[in-house]
Amino acid sequence: MKGRQFIKKLRDVGVTVVPSRGKGGHVGLAFHGRKTTLPFHGDRDISPTFLKDVCKQLGLDPREIL
Protein backbone atom coordinates (compact mmCIF):
# COMPACT_ATOMS: atom_id res chain seq x y z
CA MET A 1 0.00 0.00 0.00
CA LYS A 2 1.20 3.51 -0.76
CA GLY A 3 1.85 5.98 2.04
CA ARG A 4 -0.82 8.40 0.84
CA GLN A 5 -3.45 5.65 0.69
CA PHE A 6 -2.60 4.49 4.20
CA ILE A 7 -2.82 8.00 5.65
CA LYS A 8 -6.18 8.53 3.94
CA LYS A 9 -7.54 5.33 5.48
CA LEU A 10 -6.19 6.30 8.90
CA ARG A 11 -7.88 9.71 8.66
CA ASP A 12 -11.18 8.01 7.77
CA VAL A 13 -10.97 6.08 11.05
CA GLY A 14 -10.21 9.22 13.07
CA VAL A 15 -6.40 9.28 13.35
CA THR A 16 -4.91 12.77 13.55
CA VAL A 17 -1.96 13.40 11.23
CA VAL A 18 0.57 15.91 12.57
CA PRO A 19 2.89 16.79 9.65
CA SER A 20 5.11 19.15 11.62
CA ARG A 21 5.95 16.53 14.27
CA GLY A 22 7.94 14.34 11.92
CA LYS A 23 11.45 14.95 10.73
CA GLY A 24 12.17 14.96 7.01
CA GLY A 25 10.02 12.34 5.30
CA HIS A 26 8.04 11.36 8.40
CA VAL A 27 4.67 12.37 9.84
CA GLY A 28 3.35 11.98 13.35
CA LEU A 29 0.13 10.08 14.01
CA ALA A 30 -2.09 10.36 17.08
CA PHE A 31 -5.17 8.37 18.08
CA HIS A 32 -6.84 8.42 21.52
CA GLY A 33 -3.66 9.39 23.35
CA ARG A 34 -1.38 7.00 21.46
CA LYS A 35 1.30 8.37 19.14
CA THR A 36 3.63 6.96 16.52
CA THR A 37 5.64 8.08 13.51
CA LEU A 38 5.13 6.98 9.92
CA PRO A 39 7.71 7.36 7.14
CA PHE A 40 5.97 9.26 4.37
CA HIS A 41 7.60 9.12 0.96
CA GLY A 42 4.55 9.71 -1.21
CA ASP A 43 4.14 6.91 -3.71
CA ARG A 44 6.57 4.37 -2.25
CA ASP A 45 5.08 1.12 -1.04
CA ILE A 46 5.08 0.40 2.69
CA SER A 47 5.39 -3.22 3.76
CA PRO A 48 2.21 -4.86 5.11
CA THR A 49 4.06 -5.98 8.23
CA PHE A 50 5.06 -2.41 9.03
CA LEU A 51 1.50 -1.19 8.42
CA LYS A 52 0.21 -3.76 10.92
CA ASP A 53 2.81 -2.60 13.45
CA VAL A 54 1.68 1.03 13.06
CA CYS A 55 -1.95 -0.01 13.58
CA LYS A 56 -0.96 -1.97 16.68
CA GLN A 57 0.94 1.01 18.10
CA LEU A 58 -2.15 3.18 17.66
CA GLY A 59 -4.46 0.56 19.17
CA LEU A 60 -6.33 -0.10 15.91
CA ASP A 61 -7.37 -3.39 14.40
CA PRO A 62 -5.34 -3.79 11.17
CA ARG A 63 -8.30 -5.53 9.50
CA GLU A 64 -10.29 -2.29 9.75
CA ILE A 65 -7.60 -0.35 7.90
CA LEU A 66 -6.09 -2.86 5.49
Residue 20 has pLDDT above 80, yes or no: no
Q: In what order do the strands lie in the sheet with 26-31?
A: 16-18, 26-31, 34-39
Half-sphere exposure of 20 (CA within 13 A, CB side): 0
Residue 30 has pLDDT above 80, yes or no: yes
Query: Going from the N-terminus, what domains does the chain have, and what CATH number goes with each?
Result: 3-61 (3.30.920.30)
Half-sphere exposure of 43 (CA within 13 A, CB side): 0
- Kindly list the distances between the CA atom of residue 41 and the CA atoms of 4, 10, 15, 56, in Å, as whole numbers in the listed order: 8, 16, 19, 21
- Which pLDDT score, from 0 to 100, does residue 6 have? 92
25 or 35, higher pLDDT: 35
Helix (H, G, I), strand (E, B) or coil at 49: helix
- Which pLDDT score, from 0 to 100, does residue 23 have? 64
- Which pLDDT score, from 0 to 100, does residue 60 have? 95
pTM for the structure as a whole: 0.86
42 or 9, higher pLDDT: 9
